Structure 1
Amino acid sequence: MSIQLSGAAAPTGTTGTAEAVRAFRERLGLPGLVDVHTHFMPERVLAKVWDYFDAVGPLTGTQWPITYRHEEQQRVRLLREFGVRAFTAMLYPHKPAMAAWLNSWSAQFAARTPDCLHTATFFPEEGAGGYVRQAVDNGARIFKAHLQVGAYDPNDALLDPVWGLLAEAGIPTVIHCGSMPAPAGFTGPGPLARLLARFPRLPLVIAHMGMPEYAEFMDLADRYPEVRLDTTMAFTDFSERTSPFPAGDLGRLAALGDRILLGTDFPNIPYPYEHQLAALERLGLGDDWLRAVCHDNAAKLFGLPEHTRRP
């Protein structure tokens, strides 16, 4: 049985979105939002990503209009208008000899964008441990891995130095490992379960709540205290049509409330930003749960400066 989300999304105009998000934050008394799953990458790479969505690529298999198809600085301004106090530059390679270049770009982006959590990435290749060490030394605070697009096994021996370093440093990796929008060779809970058995202290953030294998990835979060999940696209009307969250697991979702982080996939979402927030609110898990998910959990994870909440 899926969760029924009633009501339409708020207006698509950015003014309407900013007002809707502000109302959400003010009702909860939040100083802002922390969004751990937003995409910034070199323009030519992002253009190819958008071309893929426009062409109804084989992984998506559906119309996917990009709501926030704007140039980089306008996208940054929009997140600030929405009251997002910290966000990420999720970027990822699809082939060897690409990750180090992406990391160089993201370091420059973080330097000119102080509210972006310095993001980096990697690929199973010779030298991965070296350039990941360099990224950490340069201040990377979060990494991105995409098993579906990269088509690699997270247990590839070439990645062992990477996982060991990130486990020791306590730096989280947002990892797309669920089989949404289409299963691939190394998606699903099995490869990740094997990885965590070898690196049980590895801090991972399961992208998209692991959809559609929600229950299995929540099992891993129950077993490993450094495993978290992000909300990216989960519970929205768009995703509920094809990957509905099982209503019987809402209790588990509530119990994991201290390890669920807000993620949205901005700008690559086929609906306005505030719809993700509305989808979370309509779960009915309460204001404390929403405050933790939309701000407090990530603020604690990344050691963000304290902000005074509204009474």
Structure 2
Amino acid sequence: MGFRPDHFRDESKHGFYIYNVLAGVCYQNSDPLEKLCKYLVCLTSRTPRTTGELVSFFHNFGNTLHLPSSELSKLGSALSKTHGHCPKWDRLEAADLRVVQRIRGSAPPTFNHDQDHAETLSTLLGCGITNANCPQHFTPITYRAYALYSSTFVHHYLSWTVYLADRLWESLLRLHYDLKILHRHDSKVKPIHQCPHAMPLLYSHGFTPPEGIAQSSLTCSKVVANLREVVAGQPIASLMTAMDTFLYGIRLPFLYTLFTLWSIATLYIAHATLYRLDVLCILYTAVLSMSTAVDLASVHNLVVSKVLSRFYWLLR
């Protein structure tokens, strides 16, 4: 199930101990299956994959970073400080935590829907105050399963936040494109429940139809328009920019090191190549000088021999 040895206690326990824990979870709560799923998802640290799981993670995670008093929660404090035997960059700054919280929307929500959570995930999932002004467009199937987090797995959440921000944008963009294609083939204004193939499409992305509102009050065109606002909105753009800056700060020392090593290697190769060319040039010049001297001596000897032969012929 993905458990490591450091997840367990030092002392050994019997299976009856696990039975007592599961019995308390499953039989002493109003919704035992929901709580069991929360614990299993938290313990196994299952990475969000579908669009619904990504929305569930970022919407719930942004709400657990701060307390109602706007102070950092235990999880937020664990994300904002360094850990032993780890580099100093394995943490999120206060500005990064605010960006992660802003993608969810204001928490706790208020009645100012246009300013508090415009272009955020709460625009799609609803703010929980009233469905009249802020209707719920759909519900992630795994929304409640991703509502429990532990500071023990803070490095998992850090990597999810950094690497899944782009994935969240791509998934929402894909959902917007698919719904737009469905709506384009039918120009009539219809509720999303009556849009052809809309329900199977939502289920394939990990969503269920909206709950607690009249089925005729939410049209397919409104869902497409709000999805477009979220995809092109400032909150999700700020999230991706902050995570790109975080990765850039990590990779910058390695880029400097790589550039320095390649520069040294290039200079070494250039020095070795030019040095050998200089030696070859000197040797070629020396050989050329020697051959020129030999040619001049041969010509001189030939001229002298001809002069002597002519002088000898005149004497005869």
Normalising to structure 2: TM-score of the pair?
Answer: 0.22
Q: More strand by proportion, 1 or 2?
A: 1
Q: More helix by proportion, 1 or 2?
A: 2
Normalising to structure 1: TM-score of the pair?
Answer: 0.22
With a CA cutoff of 8 Å and minimum separation of 6, indicate the structure with the bigger relative contact order. Answer: 1
- Highest CA radius of gyration, 1 or 2? 2
